[in-house]
Amino acid sequence: MVATVRFAPSPTGLLHIGGLRTALFNFLFARKNNGKFILRIEDTDKSREVRGAVENIKETLRTFGLNWDVGPIFQSERLKTYHEHASRLVAQGDAYKCGCSEERIADLKKHAQAEKRPFRYDKHCLKNPAPSTGSGSNHFVIRQNVPEEGITSFEDLVYGKIQVANSTLDDGILVKSDGYPVYNFANVIDDHLMEITHVIRGEEFIPSTPKHILLYKSFGWQVPQFAHLPLLVDKKRQKLSKRSGDAAVKEYVEKGYLPEAILNFIAFLGWNPKTEQEIFSLDELIKAFDLEKVNKSAAVFDLEKLNWFNSHYIKEKPLSELLKYAQRYFPVTDTSPYPEEFLEKILEIEKGRLNKLSEVGERAGYFFQEPEYNKDLLSWKDMTGEEIKKSLEVSKKIIFNFQFSISKKEIEKTFFQEIGEGDKGTLLWPLRVALTGLRASPGPFEILEAFFCLQNGKETVLKRIQKAIDKI
Ligand code: GLU
């Protein structure tokens, strides 16, 4: 049998980190086992549907290379199938029509609450079936007829044996009065018809699984294997919230996290290879992935770890590729007037210091705009004004002879010849400040090298040095 899995999101919003993790683990399992990966959109709750959600799901999966083999299949286009199966259950007594009013249900819920017990529908309509009107009126729902006795159990591939007493399960609605099936029903029908062998999804679906198993049994179908993935928590072991990182994947991409980094990070949310290796490409993940290595303890979402992965991949990426991702973060509305070599040089200078690409904006501002700073900053140790002035004049003279696109090596050589046995700081500190206006920045040689990728680089640099001289 072909290992077949599905990612089955409901289009109720942008795809979040947890959803991407589910998609990734399903994808890895399918590829590892030469299986099939289906994308199924569970869109039967029209009231919760969000416009653009399906597009976002598809786009996000593509961004990360999680290509599906079949789909997207939309549940909303399969209503007939669900109705046929619901009728079959009704005919065999495993489901029944219920015409109870909302008021009656609300009343039952109120009673349950007062008696501090979980609400369970009292099977009133099973015991008192309404006479068939023959009109096909839709003012009823179809409920699952959960046995009152017995135990339902299953062997979860991650969590082990899970069992519940049927007496704790409610006769949940399978088909609503508007004709749409609920998740618990459509999900089972589709997993069976699509020949899903392994259901891999978040642990929040463990409580619903016994009801699903009862449905499989009612139909006489084989139950798939279940692997529930551990809860995502923050560092305080609280359920992940918006503030602690539960954001849309898109937001991370927009902040300048590279897809490889996000993917590598997410792979470790509940899984690890049981080796020392931390850096994994998608292909390496496929090779190493194994459901047996998925942990059941909650997975901690640690932003510092994500930053660590991201800084690794930023350093690794060829500059021309990095530039494609970083382009939007330079502190100018339009980078097109700047040559690529200039922008790449900036990335080369900064990439070792970046946790995310968006930081390039604040770090590299001085490349695009003349800096504002206090003249005191120009002084290295206890240099006097005269000494600073003299130092800047020397730099000016040296730089005046530089040609367009001069290399850092040559720049360095020329400066070091000038410095000889003297103190480096005396010459280089005022120059660096004149260029950047910053107390801490990359060194002046690499900055000069970047500026000399610009046609007007020399002019810009000399102007800044002159401005520094004039400040004193
Ligand atoms: N539609 C469910 C969700 O959005 C899928 C759960 C499952 O995989 O069974 O999470």
131 preceded by a cis bond (ω within 30 of 0): no
Taking CB atoms and a 6 Å cutoff, what residues make up the pocket around ligand 1? 8-10, 42, 183, 187, 201, 205
Q: Give the model confidence (pLDDT) of 377-390 as tens digits.
A: 999 998 999 999 99
Q: How large is the average pLDDT for residues 164-187? A: 95
Q: How far apart are CA 177 and CA 234, in angstroms?
A: 40
**Please, which pLDDT band fits residue 75 given cuts at 50, 70 and 90?**
very high
| Domains, in order of start, for the chain | 370-471 (1.10.10.350)
Q: How large is the average pLDDT for residues 263-287? A: 96
The pick from 75, 201, 211 for probing ligand 1's pocket by mutation, whose C-beta has the most ligand atoms within 8 angstroms, reads: 201
| Residues assigned a catalytic role | 242
Q: How large is the average pLDDT for residues 428-441? A: 96
pLDDT at 239 (0 to 100): 85
Q: Find the 10 Cα to ligand 1 centroid distance in Å.
A: 6
Q: Find the 48 Cα to ligand 1 centroid distance in Å.
A: 14
In this structure, what is the dihedral angle of CA atoms 453, 459, 460, 466, given to the nearest 10 degrees? 140
459 burial (CB, 10 Å; 0-12 / 13-18 / 19+) is: exposed
Q: Which atom of ligand 1 is nearest to the CA of 7?
A: 8
Residues 6+ apart with CB under 8 A from 341: 405, 453
Tell me whether strands 141-144 and 198-202 are parallel, antiparallel or unpaired: unpaired
Q: Which atom of ligand 1 is nearest to the CA of 191?
A: 9
pLDDT at 132 (0 to 100): 59
pLDDT at 59 (0 to 100): 96
Q: Find the 422 Cα to ligand 1 centroid distance in Å.
A: 69
Q: Which atom of ligand 1 is nearest to the CA of 183?
A: 1
Q: Find the 216 Cα to ligand 1 centroid distance in Å.
A: 17
Flag whether pLDDT at 366 surpasses 80: yes
Q: How far apart are CA 367 and CA 370, in angstroms?
A: 8
Flag whether pLDDT at 322 surpasses 90: yes
Flag whether pLDDT at 138 surpasses 70: no
Flag whether pLDDT at 244 surpasses 80: no
Q: Find the 41 Cα to ligand 1 centroid distance in Å.
A: 9
For tokens 């009107």, what's the residue?
A: 133
Flag whether pLDDT at 353 surpasses 90: yes
The pick from 73, 76, 183, 211 for probing ligand 1's pocket by mutation, whose C-beta has the most ligand atoms within 8 angstroms, reads: 183
Q: Give the model confidence (pLDDT) of 9-26 as tens digits.
A: 999 999 999 999 999 999
**Please, which pLDDT band fits residue 133 given cuts at 50, 70 and 90?**
low
In this structure, what is the dihedral angle of CA atoms 258, 259, 263, 266, given to the nearest 10 degrees? 60
**Please, which pLDDT band fits residue 137 given cuts at 50, 70 and 90?**
low
Flag whether pLDDT at 136 surpasses 90: no
pLDDT at 423 (0 to 100): 84
Flag whether pLDDT at 111 surpasses 70: yes
Q: What percent of the chain is modeled with pLDDT above 90?
A: 88
Residue type, 374: N
Nearest of 201, 210, 205, 211 to residue 173 by alpha carbon: 211
Q: How far apart are CA 65 and CA 230, in angstroms?
A: 23
pLDDT at 367 (0 to 100): 97
pLDDT at 435 (0 to 100): 97
Q: How far apart are CA 446 and CA 227, in angstroms?
A: 52
Residues 6+ apart with CB under 8 A from 213: 152, 154, 223
Q: Mean pLDDT of all residues in the chain? A: 94
Flag whether pLDDT at 125 surpasses 70: yes
Flag whether pLDDT at 3 surpasses 70: yes
pLDDT at 464 (0 to 100): 97
Q: Find the 42 Cα to ligand 1 centroid distance in Å.
A: 7
pLDDT at 135 (0 to 100): 47
Q: Which atom of ligand 1 is nearest to the CA of 187?
A: 9
Residues 6+ apart with CB under 8 A from 122: 108
Flag whether pLDDT at 425 surpasses 50: yes
The pick from 40, 42, 231 for probing ligand 1's pocket by mutation, whose C-beta has the most ligand atoms within 8 angstroms, reads: 42
Q: Which atom of ligand 1 is nearest to the CA of 22?
A: 8
